Amino acid sequence: MPFEEVANAFSSMEGVTSRIQLTQLLAGLLKRTPADVIDKVVYMIQGKLGPDWKGIPELGVGDKLLVQSMAMAYGKSESDVQRLVDKLGDPGKVAEQLAQTGGHIKSSLLAFMGGASEQLTVSRVFDSFMKIAYATGESSRDLKLKTLAGLLKDAKPIEARYIVRFVEGRLRLGIGDATILDALSVAYGGTTAVRDVVERAYNLRADLGEIARIVAQQGVEALKGLKPEVGTPIRPMLAERASDAKEILAKVGGRAYVEYKYDGERGQIHKDGDKVKIFSRRMEDITSMYPDVVEGVKDAIKAERAIIEGEIVAIDPDTGELRPFQELMQRRRKYDIDKMMKEIPTRLFLFDIMMKDDEDLTTKPLPYRRKVLESIVQPNERVVMSNYIESSDPDEIMNFFLQAISDGAEGVMIKAIHDESTYRAGVRGWLWVKLKRDYRSEMTDTVDLVVVGAFYGKGKRGGKLGTLLLAAYDPDNDVFKTVCKVGTGFTDADINGMYDMFKPHIIDHRHPRVISSIEADVWLEPVKVAEVIGAELTLSPAHTCCMDTIRKGAGISIRFPRFIRWRDDKGPEDATTEQELLEMYKRQLKKVEEKSTESEA
Ligand code: ATP
């Protein structure tokens, strides 16, 4: 296909502000485009060389190189070209003008640019852009210059305008994905009536060029049976949001899966034999940032090919507990990946599967998908299934929600499990509903808590006591009630000395003055007091301090607690009391309420 046809179409679209008219012009162009180059035309319309997730490099042609290419193509001096650019303010127009007037090119330059002229085709233009994008190394500048000048030399004036604008990244036709989908539907379906089919296909394979090629080659009908493809990202299914468990249950059909809503980064994972790719929520290829996830997946996933989804979360290497999102974000970098991988290890919590070998699972209900997923996952240190319950009881859901928060998750995802609970790619709907907290508060004061038990650590703390179970004092009953587990904030020296320090106090059963619903690895006499601080006080069904006081079935706990120092100046009865924690929690709530009235006012 001559590139001139595309350039002419671009020219007629320029300045059109009516979307309907733009769609018609675009549909006309797509209809005239042969199937074997339609993908290239679609990418060019988007001002791209392919979908973002392919990670095709930028063209890397700066202003200076552009001027040089024009000077070379049209036999002008660089300063002449620069003057024209300054005058017209649009290098595309300059190229167009210079191509019109023509120029005298020295034969030596002509040879440098690739010899005699020939008509430009879509393929040649696109392939030259690719060559420019992928040119690397010492001679890359020369190669870019030569390739671009070669194109411009052969370009008709109107072609030169759009070649230059594309290279500059200033095509600005105002055509978004939605308009392209409309135009494809009109061009190959006759009307926008087939738009749903085209859109569904695009949601399953986020590559507009590829969708256009299938439609042009095989017709819209072929899209109906389209399956996801390993290697091509699926547009993620999205959730609605609500704040009341009962209301959510009604929306999702009365009974649901309630899963931890992990606070990390969504990862869509494509496994093809030994090859693993990870795409982000926005479908960027983030594989290189998470080599540990890649290794984990290779080991854990027992299917030759699969597309699965989960949340990548930062994990405390010593305790295995969840860490906040901000810590994970430090992993989002191009350099020092190995170092960060050791400092901030991750774990992948899997919650869905869309494809297993050749079976398209997006059309299957969630319980079926979960079963298939479980059947191919052999959990390891890096990859596990998401924590969930099946429930139709709002109270049970709220307790699970509180448990999720105090474990460091953001809340829960409540998911429909009826027959229609398919994976709706790219769609935000009421099949998934997120239940998050509508408040966030801060713990401003430290508390002094009594150590009543301990747990063995993980990783480099393997075999050593690394996490402590802490309790507040209840003077009325003279007992200690648990508040949290703390494994963060200890130095290596603290950890190395921990066993010896506690050895005299180890007992083989829970101390009679300790009220705990958690089983410790090692029980201790309540003698030592630790000062800790956390992100905030939260409710938790796992801890016994203030149990049933604020909420039935829940106690008060500390989220993301951190050890500060030993308080050897305090005896266990001098520790923060249950009543004090209750007051702190109430003060915290009051602050949150004040903040929200302030923001409402
Ligand atoms: P959205 O993705 O809905 O536009 P957002 O980007 O602000 O909104 P959230 O509101 O936090 O994200 O909620 C959705 C995200 O929650 C998902 O994209 C996913 O990354 C994350 N998530 C964590 N746990 C789960 C889970 N068990 N099931 C589904 N998603 C989960």
Q: Would the CB of 536 count as within 6 Å of ligand 1?
A: no
Q: Would the CB of 266 count as within 6 Å of ligand 1?
A: yes
Average predicted confidence (pLDDT) for the chain: 91
- Residue 260 CA: which ligand 1 atom is closest? 27
Cβ neighbours of residue 85 under 8 Å, at least 6 residues apart? Answer: 67, 91, 94
Look-up: residue for tokens 């479908």?
A: 283
Task: Residue 518: name the closest of 551, 548, 557 by CA.
Answer: 557
In the predicted structure, residue 106 carries a pLDDT above the cut 60 = no
Q: Is the pTM of this model over 0.85?
A: no
In the predicted structure, residue 116 carries a pLDDT above the cut 80 = no
Q: How far is CA 118 from the centre of its chain?
A: 46
pLDDT band for 107, please (50, 70, 90 cuts).
low
Question: What are the Cα distances from residue 234, in Å, to 293, 501, 515, 572?
Answer: 19, 54, 49, 56
173 burial type by CB count under 10 A (0-12 exposed, 13-18 middle, 19+ buried): buried
In the predicted structure, residue 114 carries a pLDDT above the cut 70 = no
Q: Is 261 a catalytic residue?
A: yes
Position with higher pLDDT, 103 vs 212? 212
Ligand 1: residue whose CA is nearest its atom 15:
266
Ligand 1: residue whose CA is nearest its atom 11:
263
* Average pLDDT of span 4-14: 94
- Asked if 267 contacts 311 with a C-beta cutoff of 8 angstroms, the reply is yes
Residue 104: per-residue pLDDT: 52
In terms of CATH architecture, what is 242-439?
Answer: 2-Layer Sandwich (3.30)
Q: Would the CB of 262 count as within 6 Å of ligand 1?
A: yes
Q: Which of 48, 76, 261, 528 is catalytic?
A: 261
Facing residues of 88 across strands? none
Q: Would the CB of 412 count as within 6 Å of ligand 1?
A: no
- Give the number of other CB atoms < 10 A from CB of residue 156: 17
Residue 569: per-residue pLDDT: 82
- Give CA–CA dist 480/191, Å, rounded: 72
Ligand 1: residue whose CA is nearest its atom 18:
266
Instruction: Using alpha carbons only, give the angle 422, 425, 427 rounded to the nearest 5 degrees.
Output: 95
pLDDT band for 175, please (50, 70, 90 cuts).
confident
Question: What are the Cα distances from residue 237, in Å, to 183, 210, 424, 426, 461?
Answer: 24, 21, 5, 5, 39
Residue 176: per-residue pLDDT: 84
pLDDT band for 117, please (50, 70, 90 cuts).
low
Question: Tens of pLDDT along 529-554?
Answer: 999 999 899 999 999 999 999 999 99
Compute the distance from residue 373 Cα to the ligand 1 centre, in Å: 19
Q: Where in the chain is the domain with CATH 3.30.470.30?
A: 242-439
Two structure tokens written together for 137 = 């190394």
- Give CA–CA dist 228/352, Å, rounded: 14
| CATH code for the structural domain at 48-168 | 1.10.3260.10
In the predicted structure, residue 502 carries a pLDDT above the cut 60 = yes
Question: Tens of pLDDT along 177-232?
Answer: 889 999 999 999 877 778 889 999 999 999 999 999 999 999 988 998 899 999 99
Question: Tens of pLDDT along 119-130?
Answer: 899 999 999 999
| CATH code for the structural domain at 447-592 | 2.40.50.140
Question: Tens of pLDDT along 479-496?
Answer: 999 999 999 999 888 999
Position with higher pLDDT, 59 vs 438? 59
Ligand 1: residue whose CA is nearest its atom 4:
238
Compute the distance from residue 431 Cα to the ligand 1 centre, in Å: 13
Compute the distance from residue 432 Cα to the ligand 1 centre, in Å: 10
Calculate helix-pair angle for 78-88, 91-101, nearest 10 degrees: 120
Q: Would the CB of 351 count as within 6 Å of ligand 1?
A: yes
Two structure tokens written together for 370 = 């979960």
Q: Where in the chain is the domain with CATH 1.10.3260.10?
A: 48-168
Compute the distance from residue 427 Cα to the ligand 1 centre, in Å: 13
Q: Would the CB of 434 count as within 6 Å of ligand 1?
A: yes
* Average pLDDT of span 379-385: 95
- Residue 263 CA: which ligand 1 atom is closest? 23
- Give CA–CA dist 11/9, Å, rounded: 5
Compute the distance from residue 309 Cα to the ligand 1 centre, in Å: 11
Question: Tens of pLDDT along 128-173?
Answer: 999 999 998 888 999 999 999 999 999 999 999 999 999 998 887 8
Q: Which is it for the CA torsion 403, 407, 411, 414, positive or negative? A: negative
Please provide residue 506's backbone torsions phi and psi, each rounded to the nearest 5 degrees: -70, 135
Position with higher pLDDT, 469 vs 324? 469
DSSP state of 227: -
Q: Where in the chain is the domain with CATH 2.40.50.140?
A: 447-592
User: Strand 536-540 relative to strand 555-559: parallel, antiparallel, unpaired?
Assistant: antiparallel
Compute the distance from residue 424 Cα to the ligand 1 centre, in Å: 14
